[in-house]
Structure 1
Amino acid sequence: MKKSFWMAGVAMAGLVALGAQPAAAETLEEVLAIAYATNPTLLARRAQLRATDEEVPQALSKWRPTVTFTDEYGRGKYESNSYTGSSAQGREQGRTSDDKTLTVTQYLYRGGKTVAGTRQAEANVLAGRADLQSKEQTILLNAATAFLDVVRDESVLKLNINNEQVLRRQLEAAQERFRVGEITRTDVSQAEARLSGAVAERAAAEGAVQNSRAKFITLIGRSPESPQAPKAPAAVPASFDEIKATALAKNPLVIYSDWTAQSAKEGIDLARGDLLPSVTLNGELSRKLSTSSQGSELETAEATVKLSVPLYEGGQYYSALRESKHTYGRRKIEADQARRDALESATKGWEDLQSTRARISSIEAQIRASELALAGVEEEAKVGSRTVLDVLDAEQELFLARVNLVKAQRDQMVSAFTLKSALGEMTATGLALNVETYDPRKNFDDVRYQWIGSGINEKYED
């Protein structure tokens, strides 16, 4: 019995803090940095935002003139007949034409659509940035959860292996005591049954490890390498009022819904512009050259102002305007719901974190009591006042408490990360990861006022 208790003590000391790790253990920060830099879903969402950036220079192009050059060239042959009395005389003539025209068109007024279109494009970009942040948080939270699941399941497996070894030694000791007549066959059978259960639990724990490692590979792209749990959960605000205020101000889904609503609002002005007049300034230079029997050349230069007033378009534009108003109303409702969702997520994260902290304290107290209980039961068993079953039950209670502590420590860390996600802080910047962060403003600044050119940054070409 002393030997089995010593083995259990060694297991607790090594595993209660989520397992002893080798010197070259992999940290959570390293895994999150890999996920941030290489996750395909996150890389694709960055590319999507760069495409959205192009809506702004496209909108700004409406402020600029358009220049068009045309060159129309043609050759022809003509026949003419003349009649004098009863005789006819035919004549064949060749002709070449070459018309060149340079046209410059500048919108002076488009019913407010140019201003609204620019503002809508900028709102779409800002909504896209919030959407990218939301996706970044999802990827990093999933990666952290997968990492901690591996740590938990490997630690639980170690506890199960140790428990199996303890029960195997317990069975050997019971068989020896049975041979000398200290205990009955029933006591041996109880030890055998408990060992069989431990073997089954160890097999289940091995399966859980493989499943968690498979999920890790899916998210990170490779197998975990001796993952080491963080020493403490991620830091979060200590005040629930601060939690709620931060969630409403910084949750990316709230920011996304606000900018989406703003984009829809600008869409109303865009639709209204189709019902308003437009004014266009046109300038044209042309040179028309015609050669036949007698050549001719005509050069013109003119500037015109064109006023277009829509009178009736079959009701299409009025319907589009009503549609845009309904869309804006829907987006505002969605923004209100996003705030409710953010508060719910923050509240749930806060409560989960508080409950796991309390659970860990209770389990730690349970482990201390179970250790003392096991020591007492073993001593009492030596003098015959306790049975083998009593010892087995005490060992099982201590084993389950240690397993529950490992699971609770994992839950506490995941709860902290989930809360940070609700606060908009589950990002490479918010976690202070040692990785080059992606700045979405750089590409936007590069293309915003780009008047000409189809090339993109070579690091994005593939």
Structure 2
Amino acid sequence: MTGLPLHRRRALSGVSLRVLLAAALAASLVAPAWAEGAPRPAQRSRVAAQPVGVTSLEAALARAFASNPDIQAQRGQVRATNETIAQARSAGLPQVSATAYAGVLATRSIMRGPPNTVDSATLGQRGVALTATQTLFDGWRTQNSVVQAQRLTEGQKQQLRAIEQSILLDVATSYVAVLTGHALVDVQRRNIGFLSTTLANARTRLASGVATPTDVSQAEARLSRGQADLSAVEADLQIARDRFARLVGAPAGAQLRPVRPLQALLPQSREAARDVAGTGNPAVLAAMEQVRAADAAVRIAQGQMLPQLAVQGQVSRDYDTATDTRRVDSAQMVGRVTVPLYSGGGQEAQVRQAQELLGAARLQLDSARLQARSAAFAGYTAYLNAGATIRAATAESQAAQVSVEGMQKQVDAGVRTLVELLNAQQDLVIARGRLIQAHGDRIVATFTILAATGRLEPARLGIASLVPAGQPVAPARSDWDVRGDAWHDLRTVPPAETRPSQQKRSGN
């Protein structure tokens, strides 16, 4: 700038100054927005602290077994039904009660005359009594009620096993769906890459006069179809991931591990699987317990028509029972025998009703056994079919791959048309998809057989160590704890922060 005239140097200096000022102003305006958009250190730490999704089937099964709400609800049902055993036993144990009373007794007596006289008195009566009753014989209703409660509790436990295995089957199915979905998406993306390259080559060949516009249109159509297929499998994958998160309570990881083979847990044949399901399926075992409970209900109803024997003892102390009596102490022991003779036919109707329910329970057992055997047979058939499909699809995929590679060379040499290459690529994609789906179907069929035969359990699956200890059943509470809670309800007062006096002081 030293060689320029003075007025030119001053003009350039003014322009440079304005440029610097504009740059500084722009930096001052952009810097806050840049700072807002840039991740702060705390934000980075929060993103890094996000939990990683479930990446293995064993972890997914263990998490669902420990925290699935349907399983938790059934465990609560088991604990609730288990309390009916204590309720049934209480009928055969002594019943002790204490009684206290206080009141006023006013009397007025008119004596025959002549002359008629009137005698009146007012007494403040009070007294206490302790009564104990023991049933000696009630037609074996107590014993049968205990048996019924035990059978119902065992039935609920078997129902819990059925729900657990059903949830584990759903988790395995959803895991396989996510695993299969990722593989299908990868196949479709590779197909998109191949079709994009083919379209680019077709356009290059068209520009050089080797290809025709029809070849380019065919490649464009196949690429559009491939994009639609990719969108479809991506949508299916998102649905499968959402279902997995709902069942497991955690999202699936980006990379899922392969499923460990479980063929060693399967029966040897379809017939063997059907036989095992008929005796080991949890639904069948639950139906068996229902039959035993219904049989006990018949005996309970019949026991109402048998004699009842009980003994009762009582000690009491009464004050001011009469004008000339200060206190009366008494003790008694009474035995009672009750023989029901006729009750209008109600007890007999209850017996007939219980017998009909027993027959219905037996029919339900037959239905549950047939369903379990059919599910095991169908699952084993699907397992064998998936194995045959895997073998055929593997050979088909290998042959299709060789066909595409050879067809590509022949198209470059001008021996084959582009549409033949596109058809061969479509066959390869279909073969790979069928192979992936067959692998998934075989895994699902394996878990279906295990669930139908009652073998889909943490111990057999090798995930028992991953399940938190003490998960199925919580410790029972004692009678005194429950009674203490009942009395505590009468002594409960509002918390200090909600008392009216403090609310007035706080101005609320």
**Distance in 2 between the 1:25 and 1:136 partners?**
19
**Distance in 1 between the 2:338 and 2:286 partners?**
37
Which structure has more RCO (C-alpha within 8 Å, separation ≥ 6)?
Answer: 1
1:61-460 maps to which residues of 2 (within 5 A)? 61-78=90-107, 93-235=121-263, 236-240=265-269, 241-290=271-320, 293-433=323-463, 434-436=466-468, 443=475, 446=476, 452-454=480-482
Choose the corresponding residue for 2:66, options 7, 12, 37. 37
**Distance in 1 between the 2:110 and 2:300 partners?**
61
Task: Give CA deviations for 1:244-282 in whole Å, capped at 9, x if unaligned.
Answer: 332122110110010000000000000001111110111
Query: How far is 1:307 from its partner?
Result: 0.6
Task: Give CA deviations for 1:138-160 in whole Å, capped at 9, x if unaligned.
Answer: 11111111111111112211221
**Distance in 1 between the 2:286 and 2:459 partners?**
19
**Distance in 1 between the 2:234 and 2:249 partners?**
21
RMSD (Å) for aligned C-alpha atoms: 2.5
Report the equivalent of 2:24: none
Helix, strand or coil at the partner of 1:96? strand
Asked whether the 8 Å contact 2:53–2:251 carries over to 1, the reply is no
Asked whether the 8 Å contact 2:54–2:251 carries over to 1, the reply is no
Amino acid at match of 1:110: D
Matched length: 430
Structure 1's unaligned 5+ residue stretches are 1-22, 458-462
**Distance in 2 between the 1:176 and 1:455 partners?**
89
Amino acid at match of 2:266: P
Note if 1:46 corresponds to 2:75.
yes
The 1:152–1:55 alpha-carbon spacing in structure 2 relative to 1, beyond 3 Å, is same
Query: How far is 1:409 from its partner?
Result: 1.1
Amino acid at match of 2:86: P
Query: How far is 1:94 from its partner?
Result: 3.5
**Distance in 2 between the 1:295 and 1:442 partners?**
57
Query: How far is 1:452 from its partner?
Result: 4.3
The 1:186–1:377 alpha-carbon spacing in structure 2 relative to 1, beyond 3 Å, is same
TM-score (norm 2): 0.79
Query: How far is 1:310 from its partner?
Result: 1.0
**Distance in 1 between the 2:310 and 2:321 partners?**
35
The 1:57–1:367 alpha-carbon spacing in structure 2 relative to 1, beyond 3 Å, is same
**Distance in 2 between the 1:243 and 1:438 partners?**
31
**Distance in 2 between the 1:295 and 1:128 partners?**
60
- Greater Cα offset, 25-34 or 170-179: 25-34
The 1:438–1:234 alpha-carbon spacing in structure 2 relative to 1, beyond 3 Å, is farther
The 1:83–1:427 alpha-carbon spacing in structure 2 relative to 1, beyond 3 Å, is closer
Report the equivalent of 2:89: 60
Structure 2's unaligned 5+ residue stretches are 1-51, 486-508
Task: Give CA deviations for 1:337-357 in whole Å, capped at 9, x if unaligned.
Answer: 221111111111111101001
**Distance in 2 between the 1:176 and 1:299 partners?**
119
Asked whether the 8 Å contact 2:185–2:230 carries over to 1, the reply is yes
Asked whether the 8 Å contact 1:107–1:279 carries over to 2, the reply is yes
Larger radius of gyration: 2
**Distance in 2 between the 1:41 and 1:385 partners?**
63
Helix, strand or coil at the partner of 1:357? helix
Helix, strand or coil at the partner of 1:54? helix
Helix, strand or coil at the partner of 1:348? helix
**Distance in 1 between the 2:312 and 2:330 partners?**
14
Task: Give CA deviations for 1:101-151 in whole Å, capped at 9, x if unaligned.
Answer: 111101101111011101101000110100000000111111111111111
**Distance in 2 between the 1:456 and 1:165 partners?**
72
